[in-house]
Amino acid sequence: MKRKTGYGTLLIVLTLILTMSAGCGKKENRYTYRDDGIKALGEGNYKDAIQSFDQAIDTKKGLVGKFDMDVLKYRAEAEYLSGDYQAAVGTYDILIKVDGEKPEYYNMRSASKAGAGDDDGAIADYNRSNELDPDGKAPGRMNALMAAGAAMEKAGSASDAMTLYESAAAGGEAGPMIYNRMGLCKMAQKDWDGALESFQKGLSAPDANQVPELLFNIAVVYERRGEFKKALDTMEQYVSTHGPDEEAQREITFLESR
C-alpha cells in the first residue's frame, strides 16, 4: 500500500490560493487604476487620467457593469476637460447606449459636440436633455445651455440664442455667463443700452469674478456709446481686477487718446 504523502492535496490547495490571489490582484489593480485616474483628473493631468481609466477598463473583463459605468463617466470628464471633444462624444455615446438616456449624459454630449464643431448635434442634445429634465436640475445643464446658445449664435440665429438665454433667465438659471452671452447678442444688434443692462446684471450676479469678460464688454459698450471717460475707467478697473492683457492695454491706449 502506498503512503499518503498529502502532496496531491497540497498541490490543489496551492493552485487554488494562487488562482484566488491572481483574481484579487486583478480586482485590486482595476480599482488602483481608477483611483490613480481620479487623482490625476483632480490634479489636471488629463492625459494620465485617461490612460489610467483605460487601464481600469481593460483590466476588467466580462459584462459591462457598475464599475465600468463609473470609470467611463470619469473618462468622459477627463476627455472633455482635455479638449478631446470627439473622444468625449464617443464615450457619452457608450454611456447613453449602455446606461440609458440620462439628461446629464445629453448635457455633456451637447457641450462636447459643440467643442467638436457639431453645432446641430449640440442643439439636438440640449433639446433632448430639456425633454428629459424640464426643470433643468441634471448636472451639466449650464454647459449644454451655453453650448446650444453658442451654436445658435455661430449659425447666425442670434435671436434664437437670445430666446434660449431669456428662457433660462426667466426660469432662474441665469448667471454671469448667461448675462454675458445676452449682452453679446444685443451688441450684435447694436442695442447698446440693452447690452449694458445685461452685462451689469451679470456683474451683480454671484460668481461674476469668474467671467472677467463682463467688465471688458461694459467698457466696449461705453466706447461704442461715445462715453470714453467711462470706458477708460471701466477698462482700468478690468485690468486692476483681472490683470493686464494685450487687448486691454490697446484699448486703454486708444481711450487715453480720446
Structural domain contains residue 27: no
Asked if 196 and 221 count as a contact pair (C-beta separation under 8 A), the reply is: yes
- What CATH number corresponds to the domain at position 255? 1.25.40.10
Structural domain contains residue 115: no
pLDDT in tens, 52-102: 999 998 886 665 688 999 999 999 999 999 999 999 999 999 999 999 999
Domain, as residue range, for 213: 176-258
Domain count, the chain: 1
Count the Cβ atoms, other than its own, within 10 Å of residue 113. 27
Structural domain contains residue 226: yes
Q: pLDDT tens per residue, the chain (258 residues)?
A: 344 444 454 444 444 444 444 444 455 688 999 999 999 999 999 999 999 999 998 886 665 688 999 999 999 999 999 999 999 999 999 999 999 999 999 999 999 999 999 999 999 999 999 999 998 899 999 999 999 999 998 888 888 999 999 988 888 888 899 999 999 999 988 999 999 999 999 999 989 989 999 999 999 999 999 999 999 999 999 999 999 899 999 999 999 998
Structural domain contains residue 256: yes
Structural domain contains residue 180: yes
* Amino acid identity for residue 76 in this structure: A
Question: Hey, what's the cell of 30?
Answer: 482595476
Structural domain contains residue 62: no
Structural domain contains residue 104: no
Structural domain contains residue 236: yes
pLDDT in tens, 136-156: 899 999 999 999 999 998 888
Burial zone of 242 (CB within 10 Å; 0-12 exposed, 13-18 middle, 19+ buried): middle
Burial letters for 25-50: b for 16+ Cβ neighbours within 10 Å, e otherwise?
eeeeebeebbebbbebbeeebbebbb
